[in-house]
Structure 1
């Protein structure tokens, strides 16, 4: 089994050029340094160090281990510092990630729920890949995320707690001839231009293209933006129609009507991803608060004006 002392011994020899000097730096005995180097050699299946005319040097295996040893020792030291800092504070910090559309809707509730639990939230707002990377790198304790085509692979050890299924509704100008049609379908918008996101991997756009393909057409691209207030302005100006997630409806222009269409692909699941070290009572309280704030799951397609 890997032991941090093995890595410390390896790094010290690399820094000092001898087992004796490494023992002095570490304040260990020389046999102790040799013991840990031997243990790492047995774990790897080949020697870590060898004698040379200039002293003790790392073998190829030792050199391969060295950057990993440095990274693991640095991470262990950071963890120790973080825990000490955490224990020194009267309020516990919790690092929370959230995607921008959800932040505008849920952030006040999230901060209030954390404060009630005696937690001090540190918020990171970024897109889905950044949230998952933050969880995997241990920079986040929990994150509000959404599902995407092909699934979302969670960081090891984390768990996903469903919050809601968010509908993706169609935004049209108030005077659009189909704005008040109760039987509106996606196929009826086949000749419209669509306001899209700025990247081909935009999850809302992918949902649109999947649903449109099922309806027998390919959406015609219009202007592009990642800001739903700007997208809404494009729609209000008559430059196209757009899909708007439920959590972004508060920013819709007053000259725009939002209509829900009963299409199975026009939705995305919103979840809370939680690291394994966050206690269950805190998670339960935060989930309860978020679910109370979120819109209920859709039951039918209805037209509505924000």
Structure 2
């Protein structure tokens, strides 16, 4: 008889295409995951995956089975969601997805706060770019996501949390003279460093650049804010930095932070969740905790 565990493992393998990464995703050893997939194939009497060096692909039978398994897992998660809504606020498991340009600055404050004020909570965190988190939210792999708004999907509800202002980071020994406060027309788009494709902060930086009327951009995509700021500190360019990242990322003397003139550009940080997923009480309690851990900012 097939088990939900086997189906979760199979779905993870289908999503990652790799036994090792799938095992990490579901928090088990690779041999344990491989054994469960083998048991699943034995139970069904057909091969579900082709095992190749360095990668795994689904067989035709596996491809046909995948949508049904995802539907079963989503329905199971819906049942768990209904049970959660009957419990107390923020009790039991809650799976939170957070975008990479928020997670390093929010999580160290948020997790201790939640554990102190909601001791019955079980927290699972997933850090990923917005599009991937939306997919995992819709598939029932996470219950709520923290991201920059808007999150445009009619199947999701959203709630604004706070505005996170943008600043410009330049090297302390940068030879270009930038006025403070900075206006968009003073941005040298030729020196603007960006995160790689898929990060919403990249799109937000491009929006500011477009306001400056310039199209030429440095052809480099960093994977993290820390990488961008290392490049900035070596006078390789400039980058937008969200206010929430300044304290963590710029505790040294080789970077200068320049504010923008009013009205300052900013991103709106908020929550998104499935219509019938997380309970409203849980969402509101989580929103209150995030605002508290974000220096009391409000929407």
TM-score, length-scaled by structure 1: 0.62
User: Which residue does 1:171 correspond to in 2?
Assistant: 169
**Do 1:210 and 1:265's aligned partners in 2 also have CA atoms closer than 8 Å?**
no
Q: 1:218 aligns with which of 192, 215, 218?
A: 215
User: Cα deviation per residue 1:115-152 (whole Å; 9 max; x = unaligned)?
Assistant: 332211111111101111111111111110112xxx42
User: Partner of 1:154: helix, strand, or coil?
Assistant: coil
CA distance in 2, matches of 1:70, 1:273: 25
User: Partner of 1:120: helix, strand, or coil?
Assistant: strand
Q: 1:169 to 1:179 in 2, by over 3 A?
A: farther
Q: 1:273 to 1:77 in 2, by over 3 A?
A: closer
CA distance in 1, matches of 2:75, 2:233: 54
CA distance in 2, matches of 1:190, 1:69: 48
User: Which residue does 2:282 correspond to in 1?
Assistant: 282
CA distance in 2, matches of 1:288, 1:111: 13
CA distance in 1, matches of 2:166, 2:113: 27
User: Which residue does 2:152 correspond to in 1?
Assistant: 153
Q: Could you say what the CA RMSD is over the residues aligned between the two structures, in angstroms?
A: 3.5
Q: 1:296 to 1:213 in 2, by over 3 A?
A: farther
Q: 2:250 aligns with which of 238, 241, 252?
A: 252
Report the number of matched residues.
225
Q: What is the deviation of 1:262?
A: 3.0
CA distance in 2, matches of 1:82, 1:68: 21
Gaps of 5+ in 1: 1-65, 299-306
Are 1:136 and 2:135 an aligned pair?
Answer: no
User: Which residue does 2:265 correspond to in 1?
Assistant: 266
**Do 2:191 and 2:218's aligned partners in 1 also have CA atoms closer than 8 Å?**
yes
CA distance in 1, matches of 2:66, 2:249: 47
CA distance in 1, matches of 2:82, 2:164: 40
Q: 1:93-108 alignment to 2 at 5 Å?
A: 93-108=93-108
User: Which residue does 2:127 correspond to in 1?
Assistant: 125
Q: 1:1-306 alignment to 2 at 5 Å?
A: 70-71=68-69, 74-75=72-73, 78-79=76-77, 92-115=92-115, 116-117=117-118, 118-147=120-149, 151-154=150-153, 156=155, 158-176=156-174, 181-190=179-188, 192-199=190-197, 201-221=198-218, 223-249=220-246, 250-252=248-250, 254=252, 255-262=254-261, 266-275=265-274, 276-295=276-295
CA distance in 1, matches of 2:189, 2:284: 46
Q: Which has the larger radius of gyration?
A: 1
Q: 1:241 to 1:263 in 2, by over 3 A?
A: farther
Q: 1:230 to 1:188 in 2, by over 3 A?
A: same
User: Cα deviation per residue 1:59-107 (whole Å; 9 max; x = unaligned)?
Assistant: xxxxxxx9699548734784599589989xxx61111111122111111
Q: 1:277 to 1:114 in 2, by over 3 A?
A: farther
Q: 1:137 to 1:209 in 2, by over 3 A?
A: same
User: Cα deviation per residue 1:132-181 (whole Å; 9 max; x = unaligned)?
Assistant: 1111111111110112xxx422362x421111111221111113356673
TM-score, length-scaled by structure 2: 0.63
